[in-house]
Amino acid sequence: MFEFESLTEKVETGSPSGKLIFHVFAALAEFERNLIRERTIAGLKAARSRGRRGGRPKKLQSKDLKTIKALLKTNEVSVQEVAVRFGVSRSTLLPERARLKQSEELLGGCEPM
C-alpha cells in the first residue's frame, strides 16, 4: 500500500489518524463540489424559466445565412471574401458550405421545386 505525506500541510496517510484526516478532507471536498453542482444546475434552470439561453450568441442571422448560401452556390465569390464581407472567419462558413454541398448531392444537383 502506498503512503502519502505532505510536507507543507503535515498530513500523512501512514498512520490511522493520518488516514482519517485525509478521508475527512476528501469527503469535505466532495461535499463542496456537489453543492456547487446543485447551485449551478438550479441557476441554469432559473435562467431558462426566465427565457434566457446559455452559450455564445449567434454571429449570423438567418437572413445572413441565406445570402451566404446564395453567394457560395454561385462559386463567383470565394469563402474568404464572403467571410470578410460578413465579419466572420472562414471556419465559421465552412460548415455552411459543407451543408450546401450535401444538400446538392441529396438533390442530385437539381434545383428544388
The mean-pLDDT minimum among 12-21, 41-50, 104-113 falls in 104-113
Q: Express each pLDDT in 55-70 by its tens digit.
A: 888 788 888 888 888 8
Residue with cell 463540489: 33
pLDDT at position 107: 62
pLDDT, tens digit, 9 for 90 and up, residues 36-58: 999 999 999 999 999 998 888 87
Rounded Cα distance between 89 and 55, Å, is 19
Tell me the mean pLDDT in the region 96-100: 76
Residue 51's region, left for phi above 0, alpha for psi from -120 to 50, else beta, is left
* pLDDT band at residue 113 using 50, 70 and 90 as cut-offs: very low
Q: Could you tell me the residue ranges of all domains in the chain? A: 5-49, 62-107
